[in-house]
Structure 1
Amino acid sequence: MLALFYILIAVAIGVSFWQITRIMNLRGDIATDKDNDTQGKLAILFTVGFYAAMVYCLIAMNVLMLPESASIEGEHDDNLFDITFWLIGIVQFIMQFLIFYFTFKYRGKKENKALFFADSHKLEIIWTTIPAIVIVVLIGYGLWQWNNMMDLSDDDSIVIEVYAKQFQWEARYAGADNTLGLGNVNFIKGINTIGVDMSDKNSQDDIYATELYLPKGKKVHFKFRSQDVLHSAYMPHFRAQMNCVPGMVTEFGFTPKFTTEEMRLNEEVIAKNEVINKIRKAKGEDPYVFDYLLLCNKICGASHYNMQMKITVVEEAEYKAWLAEQPTLAEVIK
């Protein structure tokens, strides 16, 4: 099916070049009523094909979309996406129809005479005011959601630092005091790969990790640092992304609402896995099992694609048991 799609694109490009060539070769020739009639009918034919392709993409390719948000805060991102998608979709559906239908209806005829008027203040007010109101509402909702993700006032939240470097992620959990010790690239030495100031008393109970474990239903406060270049911490299923900037700390927070096991049972995830595993089977590769991932969404170098960290969401009791098993930095860096 994908090959057919590429073929149709190639045919459309070829027809476009052919039409452009014809137009350039007219050299002052006047189009006849027959030419205009043919072009009008072709516009209707193109409209039918255009809408068929659009419906196909909406239905058949829906499996490529992400499942519902795995964080409570991310639900508003999904709402904003849905609102924007339906607004644009409806307007596009109507406007495309009008463009091609009017191309057919008002195709050139010798006996027809075009009606001309300079302007319409009423129309200009309508098509200026309505988009302006819609944009203000969407931007307002987006700013509210941004503030929602950046609300880190919950003192009971779990504090985790994510450290980015070419081409790897590392993490550090705040210990019992829920406060991270000072971190700086100047402290990088030996096994202290993320530059933690071990003379800071808050660093002693911090916990180093190469995989993120998060508790369901608990707010997580992420802090980001970068060792070298600009990276971007992207957690698509949680609808969260933040640049990791050398020399400064950036942050956001969210609350996971589905454990990894629960998300694996999600109908959308199952359907997507079936498509992925069908391709992997044809290549002789092992089947894919869903996991949350932390990705880098900036092209940060030749091995940028290697920057992945597994995220496991579990129930809070299991998270506490896992955390209790992890050695502190004071035990590791002596």
Structure 2
Amino acid sequence: MPGLFVVTSLLSLLPADASAHGPALDRQLLLSLWIILALFALAHIILIVGLAARRHSVQRSVWQIEYLPLLALAILFAVMTVRAERLWAATRYTGASLTALQVEVTGVQFAWYFRYPGTDATFGRTLPQLVAPGEGNPLGIDPADRHSADDIVSSQLVLPIGREVDLAIRSQDVIHGFSVPEMRLKQNAVPGETIHIHFTPTAKGTYAILCTQVCGMGHYRMNANLHVVTPLEFDQWLAQREKAVQP
């Protein structure tokens, strides 16, 4: 069947799933594609039946061919909307667990920066007037804040496999789009807002972090990498970075 071939082809184009919530999203996508295929076939059946209906049964045909399918479609779309909202809210509104790893993601033309809170588990204060990439302070971390001394800033996002991560997404200038297709993540970084999303990586590897909003002339080069490693490798990487920031 051509429709089956289309659905199979679309699913084969998806990147490999590497997050705990990914299978649920993929099932939702598959269900949506099958529903679209079924509605495509149903629309042609209704068209043929409508053309073949006899004149003396026009009123009955109008009710059966137009109103009942319309009611069924309204119910179907309502159900699909509720399912999609619940899936979206699972990474957006339900909140991460108290044991989730905290990482701050900042988008700036045209780079991503990732900040870890260090041994005190608290992010230091940032001030716009202190932003100075050329001086090694791209996020404007305030050195006068005692919590900022052990903050770790990286141009690559490194995460341990199997541990939930709570990302606090921010932007310094314009709207950026934080996206990791394999993790089934996509969230805008909006100036003046801090938006949280959480997920759990389930597969080791290196994944591209993209900007999905056209944010200026250098948009094409605004990318970074997500490295998912073992917990031991993550602890070793974190320890090395903590030594580097110690006075």
- Return the letter of the residue paired with 2:162: G
Q: Give unmatched runs, 5+ long, in structure 2.
A: none
- 1:182-234 per-residue CA deviation (whole Å, 9 max, x = no partner) reads 22322213211111122222222211111111111101010111121110101
Percent of pairs with identical residues: 27
- Return the letter of the residue paired with 2:120: D
The reply on whether 1:138 has 2:80 as its aligned counterpart is yes
Which residue pairs with 2:122 in the alignment?
179
Larger radius of gyration: 1
How many angstroms does 1:61 deviate by? 5.9
Which residue pairs with 2:210 in the alignment?
295
Q: Give unmatched runs, 5+ long, in structure 1.
A: 1-50, 107-112, 261-290
The reply on whether 1:83 has 2:31 as its aligned counterpart is yes
With normalisation by structure 2, the TM-score equals 0.86
How many angstroms does 1:64 deviate by? 2.2
How many angstroms does 1:56 deviate by? 4.9
8 Å CA contact retained: 1:238, 1:256:
yes
User: Residues of 2 paired with 1:181 and 1:73: CA distance?
Assistant: 31
Which residue pairs with 2:228 in the alignment?
313
8 Å CA contact retained: 2:18, 2:183:
yes
With normalisation by structure 1, the TM-score equals 0.65
Partner SS, residue 107 of structure 2: strand
8 Å CA contact retained: 2:160, 2:234:
yes
The reply on whether 1:228 has 2:177 as its aligned counterpart is no
User: Residues of 2 paired with 1:313 and 1:167: CA distance?
Assistant: 23
8 Å CA contact retained: 1:158, 1:178:
no
Partner SS, residue 55 of structure 2: coil
Distance 1:177-1:142 versus aligned 2 partners, 3 A rule: farther
- Return the letter of the residue paired with 1:247: G
Work out which of the residue numbers 32, 35, 43 in structure 2 matches 1:95.
Answer: 43
How many angstroms does 1:160 deviate by? 0.7
8 Å CA contact retained: 2:204, 2:227:
yes
Question: Superposition pairs for residues 1-334 of structure 1, below 5 Å?
Answer: 52=2, 54=3, 56-59=5-8, 62-67=11-16, 69-96=17-44, 99=47, 115=55, 117-118=58-59, 120-150=62-92, 151-189=94-132, 190-260=135-205, 291-327=206-242, 330-331=245-246
User: Residues of 2 paired with 1:177 and 1:132: CA distance?
Assistant: 52
Partner SS, residue 182 of structure 1: coil
8 Å CA contact retained: 2:204, 2:229:
yes
- Return the letter of the residue paired with 1:74: G
How many angstroms does 1:295 deviate by? 0.5
User: Residues of 1 paired with 2:65 and 2:139: CA distance?
Assistant: 60
Partner SS, residue 326 of structure 1: helix
- Return the letter of the residue paired with 1:302: M
8 Å CA contact retained: 1:159, 1:180:
no
Partner SS, residue 177 of structure 1: coil
User: Residues of 1 paired with 2:158 and 2:28: CA distance?
Assistant: 28
How many angstroms does 1:143 deviate by? 1.9
User: Residues of 2 paired with 1:216 and 1:92: CA distance?
Assistant: 41
How many angstroms does 1:95 deviate by? 2.6
- The one of the two structures with greater contact order (alpha-carbon pairs below 8 A, sep at least 6) is 2
8 Å CA contact retained: 1:72, 1:257:
yes
- Return the letter of the residue paired with 2:238: L
8 Å CA contact retained: 1:231, 1:297:
yes
Which residue pairs with 1:6 in the alignment?
none
Between Structure 1 and Structure 2, how many residues are aligned? 242
8 Å CA contact retained: 1:170, 1:209:
yes
Higher share in strand:
2
Distance 1:219-1:316 versus aligned 2 partners, 3 A rule: same
How many angstroms does 1:62 deviate by? 4.8
- 1:25-69 per-residue CA deviation (whole Å, 9 max, x = no partner) reads xxxxxxxxxxxxxxxxxxxxxxxxxx64x55544556542223x3
Distance 1:179-1:191 versus aligned 2 partners, 3 A rule: same
Partner SS, residue 186 of structure 2: strand
User: Residues of 1 paired with 2:95 and 2:230: CA distance?
Assistant: 22
